Homo-oligomer: A and B are copies of this chain.
Amino acid sequence: MENVVRINRDKREEPNALDRLTALVKNDMARVNEVIIARMQSPVALIPQLAGHLIASGGKRLRPMLTLATAALCGYDGDRHIPLAACIEFLHSATLLHDDVVDESRLRRGNETANVLWGNQASVLVGDFLFSRAFQVMTDDGSLDVLRLLSGTSAVLAEGEVLQLTTSNDVDTSEDSYLQVISAKTAVLFAAACQLGAIVANRPAAEEEALESFGRNLGIAFQLADDALDYSAKQATLGKSVGDDFREGKITLPVILAYRRSDAEERTFWRRTLEQVDQQDGDLEHALALMTKYRALPDTIARARHYGAMAKDALRLFAPSPTRDALTGIVDFSVDRAF
């Protein structure tokens, strides 16, 4: 099912890195899924219905997998990583529910979004429920270090989303501002998911920092690849449509690069389509042509590779192992899926 990466380099292995990571944490992941199902229950039937629609919709569960894999990398042999990985997925799911309302998205992972099926109101409130549930599960874990990390993470996530909102439809957004947005709205949760592995295993600060750095840089690489993917023909094979970001007037790195490199007339085009979101037939094709002209997609991927390289180097603090290899592979997987 996850036959997403074409084998186009001799250095790429079979099975792909996501499959290898999935196999390594398979037993733990089955337990995480049990916790997720058990803890999303509520006497209010709409809650498990709506949450279940999102959670069972075939996401990769990459974030909780990172918690499980980093715990394994740290030699952890307890049980705390199981509910905490579920927490990470709850926080992520709550964010997705609110995101889809904010972005008025209609499709996610090839399915209609919860806001289309049950309305914005239910999506906002069930998001709130999942968020609360995440904090209940953390409280059951009982570690103030974990609570501090994850309450701080969720505050930064919200800040990132608000920041994105205030820079939206502004083609003059700088690459730096954009990096700030994705560091806050995406990378911080990847970082926390990975840091948890060292925290539960009670590893020294250097290892916790290395995993935080791995997760943060992986998260940035992942988001940049996602942004490129939205303009790539590859997108269609993932059950998504090409150009969703364009239609919403989202300012992502491919747009920022193309706009900066455009001449005056082309800039008028970008402002009309993305700032005023005044679009007509053929505009997406013209945008794609400009991106090709200015190499916006390969250069976005080159930026992603830069963060990916930092992520991989951060992991080298740990001794080689199949888990370390799989985590390293996930970096390439995240970047390469855009092509």
Contact A42 B132 (CB under 8 A): no
Which residues of chain B are near A124, meaning CB under 8 Å?
98, 101-102, 124
Collect the chain B residues with CB atoms within 8 Å of residue A142's CB.
144
The DSSP consensus for interface residues of chain A is helix
Q: Is the CB of A125 within 8 A of B165?
A: yes
A217 lies within 8 A of chain B by Cβ: no
Most chain B CB within a 10 A radius of its CB, from A45, A133, A135, A166 = A135
The reply to whether A128 and B158 contact each other, CB–CB distance below 8 Å, is: yes
Question: How many Å from the CB of A103 to the closest CB on chain B?
Answer: 8
Closest chain-B Cβ to A94's Cβ sits at a distance in Å of 8
Are A129 and B155 neighbours in the complex by a CB distance under 8 Å? yes
CA of A47 to CA of B151 in the docked complex: distance in angstroms?
A: 17
Q: Does A126 reach chain B (CB closer than 8 Å)?
A: yes
Given the known A-B contacts A136-B155, A139-B148, A151-B139, are A98 and B128 also in contact in the complex, defined by CB atoms under 8 Å? yes
Query: How far is it, in angstroms, between the C-alpha of A124 and the C-alpha of B157 when the chains are bound?
Result: 13
Query: CB of A122 within 8 A of chain B?
Result: yes
Q: What is the CA–CA distance of A45 and B98 in the complex, to the nearest angstrom? A: 20
The answer to whether A157 and B139 touch across the interface, beta carbons within 8 angstroms, is: no
Seed contacts A46-B162, A101-B124, A128-B161; 14 additional CB < 8 Å A-B pairs: A43-B159, A44-B166, A98-B125, A101-B121, A102-B120, A102-B125, A124-B124, A126-B162, A131-B154, A131-B158, A136-B152, A138-B147, A139-B144, A144-B144
